[in-house]
Amino acid sequence: MSKNILTRGHSRALTRHHKLAVAGVAALGAAAIGFSAVPSNASTTTTAEAASAPAAKVTYSTVPIEGVEADVTDQLAGSSVKIERIAAKKEAATQAAAEKKAAAAAAKAEAEKARQTEEAASRAAERAEVKKAAPKTYGNSLDGWIRESLAIMKKHGIPGSYEGIHRNIMRESSGNPKAINLWDINAQNGIPSKGLLQVIPPTFDAYHVPGTPKNIYDPVANITAACNYAADKYGTMDNVDSAY
């Protein structure tokens, strides 16, 4: 019984002491907490508050960043313009090269054409010189005599045609340059008609054309003198259809 009484009494004394101690400790703790809660400056927080504060939640915005998107768009647009400019320059360079090549080909063709024209003109001039230097030749026949006579008549302005001359020659001498009439009035008078167009010697001498032989039997000289006489008396040998 005594032991239990002592135990209870000691227990009560300790309980009081504990109460006082707890009260004191509580007071000191409250003061400490209050002191700690007052920040020394505006940005200071207590360790307890920091520890007890919930962790910050990271959020992601779904709103597009307009500035960045616009910048990327501008960069892409700029790149596109650069590519287009490069392509345009390349195309222009290709076209310029093609035009230059075409111009060079045209110039070359023009030069070749000019060269050929010049060579052709030179050859023509050479042929003309040769032709001029070499006199035209005519056949030793009735056709050749008439043609040579016509060429001389042309130089002296004496009219007449191939047909008119040929027609009268065939009637007068049948194309014989040595023909002579020994029976007509002229023959009776001692001046017989001679040659292709049966010209009497006085007429031949009067109408002889320079550049032809002074031989009444020469075919070209006879034709030319006779045509000169016919032009004076009848206008042209073409107007003669009978003895003249």
Q: Is the pLDDT score of 72 beyond 90?
A: no
Say if pTM beats, i.e. exceeds, 0.75.
Answer: no
pLDDT at 4: 45
**Tokens representing 163?**
């047909």
Determine the average pLDDT of the residues in 64-89.
72
Determine the average pLDDT of the residues in 22-47.
46
Q: Is the pLDDT score of 38 beyond 50?
A: no
pLDDT at 70: 60
pLDDT at 129: 77
Three-class HEC string of 7-40: HHHHHHHHHHHHHHHHHHHHHHHHHHHHHHHCCC
Q: Is the pLDDT score of 46 beyond 60?
A: no
Band of the pLDDT at 63, cuts 50, 70, 90?
low
